[in-house]
Structure 1
Amino acid sequence: MGVTAGAVWGRAEQQDFRSRVRGTLLGAAVGDALGAPVDGLSLEEIQEAYGAEGIVDLVPGYGRRGAVSHLTQLTLFSVDGLIRAQVRRDTGAWHPPTDLHRAYLRWAATQRDWGPDERRKEDGWLAREEWLYARRDPARSLLIGFGDDTMGTLDAPKSPGEAGPEAAARSAPFGLLVGWEPQLVVQLAVECAAQTHGHPVAYLAAGAYAAIVHGLARGESLDAAVQQTLALVAARPGHQPVSDALQHALGAVRQGMPTPARVAELVGAGTAEGLLAAAVYCALVSEDVRHGLCLAVSHDGPSAAAGALTGGLLGALHGETALPPAWLAELEGRPTLLELADDFAMEMTQGPALHGPAGSSPGWLARYPRG
């Protein structure tokens, strides 16, 4: 589906795109919810608690089944920031990393405040969702990165030694910018990742992940999307660990039946490139979404990030209808996720009608203020 920025969307194209947007966001959230309760446990501990096969269904975390971690919270604010960037473009102010940074600062406020401040109309609707004010073990790098108003950049990144997977795990929405050229998608994801994760492995893994989602959202196969991504990141300084990890994932597919040991080997030390490799591997070898996600979370590493990254790929690849309905029924925040997904799809396909030169919808600008 090679869609360009000014393209006229047919009805079938719009429906396919909306299904992939929903699939990506719901898939990432379901994977997060599946992995979060066992995040940081060893495989032995997981098997002891849940049986020899490890995780095969949602289990309680944060007091309920289907609860999501900070990774899903941040992914939602990534979407919010991207919509706001498009809306602000009409004003002539066009710098998406700044709009994303403002969105992430709104997330940071949810981690400090007791609940929404109704007086702050410029926050838009997402920041008024009370369930997002739950603190779900946010990584220290995130609290530092968004702890003040200074925005990390590639020239001066926040936490230059931070190589964890959290920035990649909030980057699926960048891949849904199907009207953008792939290299611009990579650049935006990389710049936004550097706001909290300054190690090249972390921000290039975020760029690579966004590029793979971008290929899938445009209707490519996963293998083709990975190959294109390898070509895209090859020109960037410091890419080798990320490129090697992706090649390792492709090679592992040919090594027989998928096992937790193979996933653990790909995850390695739990840094961003290992989690990206594990997610690509699990998505490539999965019989279906359920199988791929269970495989992704039963290991010694960061299970929530592995589940979120894998779920985003499978959702972008197969669309919303491939996700397990029973898991979606229990997913925390599902109405918010769907509302935001549909708003994103509408903005990307019909933005000019909502806030263009020909007129604007006051309701839309109340949801996504230009300020």
Structure 2
Amino acid sequence: MPSTNITPPSLDRVRGCVLGGAIGDALGNPIEFDPTDVIRAEYGSAGLTGLTGLTPDGFAVITDDTQMTLFTIDGLLRGGTTNEASPSAVMSEMYWAYQRWFRTQNQREAQDPPDGWLAGEAWLYHRRAPGLACLSGLRSEPPAPNAPLHGAGPVNPESKGYGTVMRSAPFGLAWGPENAFEHAARCARLTHGHPTGYLAAGAFAAIVSLVARDTGFTAAIEETLTIVARYPDHRETTDAIVRAVNAAATAAPTPERVERVGGGWIAEEALAVGLYCALAAESDTGAKPEVIARALLASVNHSGDSDSTGSICGNLLGARHGRDALPIQWLTHVEHTDAIDAAAIDLASALGTPDAPPRDADYWRSRYPTTGAK
């Protein structure tokens, strides 16, 4: 598999990003559609304080956010992760990767033989409240890969739902900030055509790229805002990021403060809420897992789209601090973290991360074959 021409993130950061997102996703899942007063009535004045809604085996359930993040990794590993990877190559493989995810939402079991290992994972063949724009968008022909990132795209041109952002962290792990922004934004247009929908996805990927490579949040946000400002339709995305930064500089997040930043149902607000809570962790004190736990709880205890804002916050904090800083009591009780972690390790190996296990050509052909039936 090819490797990038920039320094890849450490294995700990790659695993932290992907697993952190899964923790935030599972944490927010049971209260996704609940107003704050309902959450407090159910769980007490502090709101949700840990994983709940567990399976009979004692595991917290992930949603479409983690599902689609895994298929983003799948598409990246088939489409090439070098800085020279063309938009058409990346978009083509990402389109087919998301089609494989789409099949998991509409079939009860994998085809035989499955198109790669991920498509053969039986536990993915369950609907977990997928975004309607993601579903409808994948029934459409993909947009032109080299079309300018300006104005509405042809697929769901008025949609700027959170579904673009919550799946885009792996782009930041794969590339430097500018390429991460560009590829994430273009691939977001596969399902969401509103400029804010795809530019917010690009901004998220750029921030992940920078913090995963040891840039602090403040500098990462400043650099990302410079990138976003090059695009004519950037204002809503820029304003949302600035709102998150200002909120974090003012006070620690409470449900009411989070809701003033956004609800998370649309792309720029999902990014802003996740970023606000991640930024709040930077000024917190205590052991890292405790700090990250408090930030993740803040990112889900509100009236908005709790699983997506939790997932985004978890991606950011995991990319910044690594797997070893995640709350182990939650990490060990999220479903299928073995498979989620395996995808992250494969990505790190493909990126040429020095501490990732080496893979031979037979391994890649078996796990990530050339895209199959189309």
TM-score when normalising by structure 1: 0.89
Alignment of 1:110 with 2:101, yes or no, is: no
Aligned equivalent of 2:367: 367
Aligned equivalent of 1:320: 323
Aligned pairs for 1:62-101 (under 5 A) are 65-86=59-80, 95-101=89-95
**Which whole-Å CA distance do the structure 2 matches of 1:235 and 1:219 have between them?**
24
Q: Structure 1's 112 and 270: CA in aligned 2 closer, same or farther, altered over 3 A? A: closer
Among candidates 154, 166, 171, match of residue 169 of structure 1:
166
Question: C-alpha displacement at 1:44, in angstroms?
Answer: 0.3
How many residue pairs get aligned? The number is 352
What CA deviation, in whole Å up to 9, does each residue of 1:68-109 have, x standing for no partner? 001110000000110111289999996101111110000001
Cα pair 1:189 1:210 within 8 Å, conserved: yes
**Which whole-Å CA distance do the structure 1 matches of 2:277 and 2:85 have between them?**
43
Q: Gapped runs of 5+ residues in structure 2?
A: 285-290
Among candidates 9, 13, 20, match of residue 27 of structure 1:
20
Among candidates 214, 224, 228, match of residue 223 of structure 2:
228
- Amino acid across the alignment from 2:369: P
Q: Structure 1's 87 and 305: CA in aligned 2 closer, same or farther, altered over 3 A? A: closer
**Which whole-Å CA distance do the structure 1 matches of 2:261 and 2:323 have between them?**
27
- Amino acid across the alignment from 2:195: P
Aligned equivalent of 2:343: 340
**Which whole-Å CA distance do the structure 2 matches of 1:284 and 1:92 have between them?**
33
Cα pair 1:152 1:196 within 8 Å, conserved: no
**Which whole-Å CA distance do the structure 2 matches of 1:232 and 1:88 have between them?**
20
- Amino acid across the alignment from 1:119: P
What CA deviation, in whole Å up to 9, does each residue of 1:246-281 have, x standing for no partner? 111111122234321111110147321111111111
Q: Percent identity?
A: 37
Cα pair 1:40 1:302 within 8 Å, conserved: yes
Among candidates 282, 298, 301, match of residue 298 of structure 1:
301
Aligned pairs for 1:51-62 (under 5 A) are 51-60=44-53
**Which secondary structure does the structure 1 equivalent of 2:250 belong to?**
coil
Aligned equivalent of 2:135: 143
Question: C-alpha displacement at 1:198, in angstroms?
Answer: 1.1
Q: Structure 1's 87 and 319: CA in aligned 2 closer, same or farther, altered over 3 A? A: closer
**Which whole-Å CA distance do the structure 2 matches of 1:293 and 1:158 have between them?**
33
**Which whole-Å CA distance do the structure 2 matches of 1:25 and 1:296 have between them?**
17
- Structure 1 residues 269-278 or 315-324, which shifts more? 269-278
Cα pair 2:192 2:198 within 8 Å, conserved: yes
Q: Gapped runs of 5+ residues in structure 1?
A: none
Cα pair 1:75 1:173 within 8 Å, conserved: yes
More helix by share: 1
Aligned equivalent of 2:202: 207
Cα pair 1:263 1:278 within 8 Å, conserved: yes
**Which whole-Å CA distance do the structure 1 matches of 2:313 and 2:86 have between them?**
37
Aligned pairs for 1:31-50 (under 5 A) are 31-50=24-43
- Amino acid across the alignment from 1:42: P
**Which whole-Å CA distance do the structure 1 matches of 2:244 and 2:306 have between them?**
17
**Which whole-Å CA distance do the structure 1 matches of 2:24 and 2:87 have between them?**
36
**Which whole-Å CA distance do the structure 2 matches of 1:159 and 1:126 have between them?**
27
Aligned equivalent of 1:157: 154
Q: Structure 1's 258 and 91: CA in aligned 2 closer, same or farther, altered over 3 A? A: closer
How well do the aligned residues superpose, as a CA RMSD in angstroms? 2.6
**Which secondary structure does the structure 1 equivalent of 2:314 belong to?**
helix
Cα pair 1:111 1:134 within 8 Å, conserved: yes
What CA deviation, in whole Å up to 9, does each residue of 1:113-137 have, x standing for no partner? 11111224xx111100111111111
Among candidates 81, 98, 113, match of residue 119 of structure 1:
113
**Which whole-Å CA distance do the structure 1 matches of 2:253 and 2:129 have between them?**
30
Alignment of 1:331 with 2:334, yes or no, is: yes
**Which whole-Å CA distance do the structure 2 matches of 1:207 and 1:88 have between them?**
17
Aligned equivalent of 2:288: none
Q: Structure 1's 244 and 84: CA in aligned 2 closer, same or farther, altered over 3 A? A: same
Question: C-alpha displacement at 1:228, in angstroms?
Answer: 0.6
**Which whole-Å CA distance do the structure 2 matches of 1:248 and 1:61 have between them?**
34
- Amino acid across the alignment from 1:198: G
Cα pair 2:10 2:353 within 8 Å, conserved: no
Cα pair 2:255 2:303 within 8 Å, conserved: no
Among candidates 268, 273, 277, match of residue 278 of structure 1:
273
**Which whole-Å CA distance do the structure 2 matches of 1:141 and 1:347 have between them?**
30
